[in-house]
Amino acid sequence: MTLIFILIIIILIFTIIFCLKKIQSLSKQVEIFTGVLDAMPFSVSVTDINKNWIIVNKVAETLLKRNRKQIKGKPCSEWKCPACNTPDCGITRLENGKKTTQCNIDGMEMLTDVNYILSYSGQRIGHIEITQDITPFSQSMQQNLSHEQLLKEISDGLDKFLKISNYVNSSATDLSSNAAKQSDITQKFITSTNELFNGLKNNIAQMTETNKISLTAKDKTNIGTEYMKNLIITMDEINKSSTNISEVIKIIENISSQTNLLALNAAIESARAGEAGKGFAVVSNEIRDLATKSSDTVKDIENIIKVSLNNVQKGLTLVNDTSIALTNIVNAIDDTVEISNSLLQSSEQQKQFITQLNEGTTQLVNINEINVSTADNNLKINTDMISEIEKLKNVIEK
């Protein structure tokens, strides 16, 4: 029994010694492996299958700003990388069949390669993440991308500028053609304006002559009106004289009547006187015949004077109507002269306006000719520019 116990103790001692040697060997291996991890220029992070840290190397400690003892057994999400707890997490991407991920840590662009740690039996027992700083490479790539993007933008800009230039070129061609047409139309307009100006000058000359004739007619009509006024005055005087003559004839007729009455009385008295009054009776009969003839003559004269007075009255009425007509003619001529003067002034203003229009149109022709020349020059410059742009575009595309 004692012997068996001693053997067991010996076996235990040898086992302990063997285990100690194994532990020492494993410790050396761990130390070697740790040294290997620390010697790596990349960040190395080892986690178990539950994403808890087992060990990290020195580079990872620097990035974490914590040592490996502080983080051992803690979730790797405490790294607080922007990709943690997101679909961009390296282990999450590995589980989805993708072995790389990329994130930015403190301004550094980090690329992480992730893989499973397998047991001897091939079972997944953990993860290893190797992270390297690819900032220079990323910057270089970004610069290349920026350069490529810049070149692409330049090329696109040149394409757009080329299209614009072609459009400008087409517009310049149309502008030159339209300017030439406009110059031709403007020249024809100037010709038409000159013809209108000459016609207006003739119209002004004719209106001036018509105005002079109207003024002359007005003067002559005024003279006729004065004559007519004098004639009316004379007719009035004739009418008055005829009226006076009529009165005188009435007096003569009255005297004839008295004479006839006296002759009748004398005949009666001579008849009473008998033989002694025969001579006186003959004289009284003669006087009565003369009075009768005078009365008849006076009546004829009175009838003639009445007819004359009627004719004078008709003439006076006609003269008054003629005077009114002449006055109306004078007024009409005044209106005609006034309208003619207004028309003449308006025509003079139109003449000045056409003169200014002609001058402005001539200036427009000169400006248009300058525009045509400028358009042609711009067309040539634009054509040369398009050629240079195409050359530059070909160089960029190469």
Domains delineated in the chain? 40-133 (3.30.450.20), 170-397 (1.10.287.950)
Read off the pTM.
0.36
Burial of 78 (0-12, 13-18, 19+ CB in 10 A): middle
Tell me the average pLDDT across 365-375.
71
Say if residue 1's pLDDT is above 60: no
pLDDT per residue over 179-197, tens digit each? 667 667 767 767 777 776 6
Say if residue 52's pLDDT is above 90: yes
Per-residue pLDDT at 273: 64
pLDDT per residue over 8-50, tens digit each? 777 777 777 766 666 666 667 767 777 777 777 888 889 999 9
